[in-house]
Amino acid sequence: MQAITNWSLVIIGVVLSASFGLSLYFEAPYIFVIPPFLAAVYFIVFYTEKTFLSLALFAPLSVNIEEYTSDIGLYIPTEPILFGLLLLLCATQIKSPFLGKEIWKEPIIYTWLILLAWVFVTSVTSTNPLISFKFLLAKCWFVIPILFFGTTFFQDEKNIMRFFTLLTIGVSITALYTIIHHASYNFGEKESHWVMYPFFKDHTIYGATVALSIPISFALLLLVKQRPLTQFLLLLMAIILLLGLYFSYTRAAWLSVIIALLIGFIIHIKLKKQLIIGAGIIAISFLTFKWDAIQLELSRNKQDHTTEDFGERMQSAGNVTTDASNLERINRWSCAIEMFKEKPVFGFGPGTYSFEYARFQRPENLTIISTNFGDLGNAHSEYLSTLSEMGLPGILFFIAFVFSVFYTSIQLYYQTSPNETTSRILIMAIILSLSTYFIHAFLNNFLDTDKAAVPIFALCAIVLSLKLKRQLSTNPK
């Protein structure tokens, strides 16, 4: 494919500028959406691989046009690109299949396909089929292009490094923007909730994205050793991400990084299963016998989360007496559980939680920030959201998918020789990044946005590609 000419860039710039001017003049935001859509079609068809790579950069930088139009929720430019890739890759697979038969035997793939099938079933039985089928379509364009095409695309290790680099650059840009914006407010706690706008809707998803990017940035720092300037820039981006994480004031993100590091350490030293199981039994026994004392201690915790001190903010995570944020999260979880009890098999339908949970709120659980419109977050848990919307089968399928992701990546790490330094660093970085998200997922849910879906499913695709490549090298046809 021939390179993009300077004239092409000039024409694209003129068209975008003209459409932007017309959209302002006629007060019709939709006019500005058309040229990016046409540009996306052009690049998807003629520069498919480069377009796929661009998602790593664009995902953290995308903007939801719902903030500017009350009618449509669409992340620009990522979702038009993902939808175009979905159509192109499905058509290509039908005409001349590029996916090998071995991919369909992988647990990550077939557990996700089973989950996707259940999303379809529960969309049919949904209390709001229109919302649920929109959710299903979004799942398809978030997952299929990334997970399936990525498994082939990432066979080339250079593409993995390019994707990591672009993702780190994209998240670092948003983190730097947020830090500078936040600094103008003296890094105030209240301002930390919105200074990342318009790239992120609030500090929770921003913190989650920064957290999953940190292991990737350090992997690049260890692996890319070409020029001093490159090393300096990579170190600078890693520092920016660490500062971004700290000043996000997101307790869940902080905890996820700490726990992920512990998981990585356990995997690296290859702690025996018996010791892990024994430690788990001891921990459960301790909680069981000391539960009354723990509840009493929690009731004494009055530390509010609206503090800028790291220690005090972490302490506030255990305040279930006066902290409005914690109490509202418990309120949303209680609603999800009550919704599950009413519809335990099929749930209320994918994407319907925010439309249904209001009537399940109990007066004793209401807080000063409670709302009936789901405008302050969803179920605040990837797992409970799935439980309430897709019933018991849905949560079991989702857990099976998560388990398959970690089982495959951990087994791959152990199968990789210590001499294969690059592969081991890449795999460990992926395990740590995935750990930060799926730990965070107990307290929030973001897989319905490109900010989380693009990197998470790309990491899954990289795990699959490394595994299939290893199988091919050890068992050549």
pLDDT of residue 291: 47
Pairs from 308-316 (Cβ < 8 Å, separation ≥ 24): 308/187, 308/188, 308/189, 308/249, 310/246, 310/254, 313/249, 313/251, 314/251, 314/254, 314/255, 316/251
Backbone φ, ψ for residue 289 (5° rounding): -80, -25
pLDDT of residue 36: 64
Q: Say if CB 147 and CB 112 are below 8 A apart.
A: yes
Q: Round to whole Å and give the CA distance between 336 and 391.
A: 10
Backbone φ, ψ for residue 64 (5° rounding): -85, 115
pLDDT of residue 200: 92
Determine the residue type at 291. Answer: W
pLDDT of residue 306: 53
pLDDT of residue 385: 94
Four-residue CA torsion sign, 468, 471, 472, 477: negative
Strands, E, within 227-338: which ranges? none
Q: Say if CB 67 and CB 198 are below 8 A apart.
A: yes
Q: Which two tokens stand for residue 451?
A: 């900010």
pLDDT of residue 309: 53
Indicate the domain borders of the chain. 1-98, 104-477
Q: Round to whole Å and give the CA distance between 408 and 411.
A: 5
What tens-digit pLDDT sequence spans the chain (477 residues)? Answer: 344 445 555 555 655 566 656 565 555 555 556 666 666 677 777 788 888 999 999 999 998 877 666 566 778 888 888 888 888 888 888 888 878 788 888 999 999 999 999 999 999 999 999 999 989 988 898 899 999 989 989 988 899 999 999 999 999 999 999 999 999 999 888 888 889 998 998 889 999 999 999 999 999 999 987 788 889 999 999 999 999 999 998 888 999 999 999 999 999 888 766 666 776 677 666 656 654 554 455 455 455 555 555 555 545 555 555 567 778 888 889 999 999 999 999 999 999 998 889 889 888 777 777 777 655 568 889 999 999 999 999 999 999 999 999 999 999 999 998 888 899 999 999 999 999 999 999 988 899 889 999 999 999 999 999 998 888 777 665
Please, how many CA atoms are within 13 Å of residue 232, restricted to the half-sphere of its CB? 3
Return the bridge partners of 76, or none: 63
Q: Round to whole Å and give the CA distance between 426 and 431.
A: 9
Q: Which of 171, 155, 87 is nearest to 454 (CA)?
A: 171
Q: Which of 300, 297, 296, 301 is nearest to 315 (CA)?
A: 301
**Residue 444 three-state SS:** coil
